[in-house]
Amino acid sequence: MEILSGDKARNVAAIDALVNGTNADPFAVLGMHPVEGGRIVRAFRPGANRAELVRADGSLLAEMHMVHPDGFFSGLMPARKRRYLLRFIFADGHEQTLEDPYRFGSLMSGGNDAATHEQLGAQVISHHGVIGTCFAVWAPNARRVSVVGEWNAWDGRVHVMRRHADSGCWEIFVPQVLDDAAYKFELLDRDGRLLPLKSDPYAQRAEPSPGTASIVFRSNYRWGDEDWMRRRPQQTELDRPVSIYEVHLGSWRRKAVHGDSRYTYRELADELVNYVQELAFTHVELMPVSEHPFDGSWGYQPIGLYAATSRFGSPDDLRYLVDRCHQAGIGVILDWVAAHFPRDDHGLRRFDGTALYEHEDPRRAEHIDWGTLNFDYGRREVVDYLIGNARFWVEQMHIDSLRVDAVASMIYLDYSRKGADWLPNEEGGNQNHDAVRFLQRMNEVLHACGGTTFAEESTTWPGVTKPVYAGGLGFTYKWNLGWMHDTLGYMQEDPLFRKYHHDKMTFGLVYAFEENFVLPLSHDEVVHGKGSLLGRMPGDDWQQFAGLRAYFGFQYCHPGKKLMFMGGEFGQRIEWNHEQSLDWHLLDEPLHAGLRRLVRDLNRVYRDTAALYEIDFERKGFTWLIADDRDHSTFAWLRHAGDGSSVVCVANFTPLVREDFEIPVSGQLAYHELLNTDKECYGGSGVHNPGTLHCVKKDASSHVIRITLPPLAMVMLRPATNLSQ
């Protein structure tokens, strides 16, 4: 019987290579092949001592002959028969009846189209009427790639994949391997060395820690957010209110009665959604939920960008959380890390034995600050991987916006590097042109999908939120980290000395309209020894709460969208700790409960008052009334809406009550208090301005309104003619 074509030595070498796991082209040997006089089926199953070709009902088609004692068999197919199963019999008497993976043709398209997120990973499909999983992975420099799992005893010799030389991708359809199967890829590098088992970069589910395997996953979720998704394109307009509640899912709230265990995605869909809705935030922002090996990275060192972390449930459980947010009218923003990845052996690092996802030169590959590796944006396949992932979150997971982390580390080649430790671009500069092109393309793709993007970018790079066609990076919004740094620095000063730092509160208005800014009070400001927001306010307990209330009021009155990290809304006293719940018991204390009540009312007033959000990014939406009263640490300004309505915003950052405080206004309108952070229901002293405040003519050309300005407070005034009487 002919086993292989060609001479005997070549036949023996091919079989030995299969048995030893070094044959990179098993499809040329295994499966059904024409030979002189008919067709032959060859199969390999380590440990089997007998093999048969059988029909679907188990009846015998033909005996197979053992060619190699390690489990290599061959057998002639009966005439006119094409369908068969393989039945292997082992020494202990147990049997396995399997579809032959090597009888199935390729499912991948050729050329560059093969390296797309729609084809790579693990796809459960029906192939020629057989249900199974098609595994595909990009590893252009590997000598051999196999998929391994419990179904083949994690033996890399059993399911060696087909190589596509034009794309560098490998694939195989494995029948009968379905949902929930754990798997990894086994690779030999170009020199034939065995690499550590690799998780699937495109896996949509991962094994719970400390496991590192990927899991075959097929979503069967049925969405209920059709109304939201239909309206989502309108949600991207810049003249809408955006107030964001930033959340770390693992520590927002824990179940003390169950050993301090985490809430699941589905439990959070009740608890978190109701809470965010009650406080009237427009959006919730999730710190990264892509799978990550180290809790202490808070998700910012992801190992699998497509896999929702198993810490809180399945990917469909996360879909349920997003769905519930949308049904409650809450947008969902996801922190997304496309800057770097960890060095764990099972991850992307030297995936096929070469610097595949990272740059070969350590001056571009290594992220000095975090001990991680930067993505190489000069490789088309890496860019496809990342942009495909961005689309995955927006299109398949219904995430509305991506907040892109660490943009500065992407666009500057000398980020955290000095001297000869960085590699300049071709013009000798420090701009990473590849990263810039990647970000521009990513933003264009996501905007076309109906998503929005936020840049966490800490430098003065011009045009972060300018359109790509105008030379910008194309983000929808940019975090204003300078505003956060300056204003928090001011608030930490003793009120007696704030007059010497007055410019910290006004400087942000010099550049406030150069980008579409978000004003973030984020997690970064309550970690690494910085303390809590409340703890950074000077003075006694009352002054600390009053100062924080005034600061929140200042944030909501200032041009720019709003963001607040969890716990800030009720005055968490200690620094955030990702390993424990927020201190919800503090809400039993009046000052903490009052602060949260203020945040709720700030959000409600903000959403209901167009002047506070409609013209955030143009100078015509803002007018200074009092900018230079540094001796009294007071400020006043107007916010304008497109219809001509306006709100007067007045701040007093000293603990002194200021009677008959004059605010210059135009015209002769009367005003009412719209919001006062010193109200007793918020924990304040109750200094307020009841009734109507009438303009007074100060001289021939100007008018003022005189108010009682509360201590450490922010007051909003609205013309009485705009209010229901």
Write down the catalytic residue from 285, 405, 614, 678.
Answer: 405
The two structure tokens encoding residue 664: 């210059």
Distance, CA of 346 to CA of 197 (rounded, Å): 6
Q: Strand 65-68 and strand 31-35: pairing?
A: unpaired
Cis geometry, peptide bond prior to residue 710 (ω within 30 degrees of 0):
no
Query: Is 361 considered catalytic here?
Result: no
Phi (first) and psi of residue 655, to 5 degrees: -85, 15
Cα separation values, 687 from 550, 636, 680, 709, 712, Å: 14, 18, 8, 8, 11
Write down the catalytic residue from 434, 456, 525, 678.
Answer: 456
Asked if residues 355 and 376 have their Cβ atoms less than 8 Å apart, the reply is: yes
Q: For residue 141, what is the DSSP state?
A: T
Which are the contacts of 59, defined by CB distance < 8 A and separation ≥ 6? none
Query: In the structure, how many helices (H) and strands (E) does the chain have?
Result: 13, 38
Distance, CA of 566 to CA of 582 (rounded, Å): 8
Tell me, letter by letter, the H, E, C secondary structure of 244-275: EEEECCCCCCEEHHHCCEECCHHHHHHHHHHH
Taking Cα atoms as reference points, which of 677, 660, 662 lies closest to residue 629? 662
Distance, CA of 694 to CA of 16 (rounded, Å): 96
**CA 348 remoteness from chain centre:** 18
The two structure tokens encoding residue 187: 């690779």
Asked if residues 102 and 92 have their Cβ atoms less than 8 Å apart, the reply is: no
Query: Is 456 considered catalytic here?
Result: yes
Percentages of the chain per state (helix, strand, coil), in multiples of 5: 30, 30, 45
Residues annotated as catalytic (active site), given as ranges: 405, 456
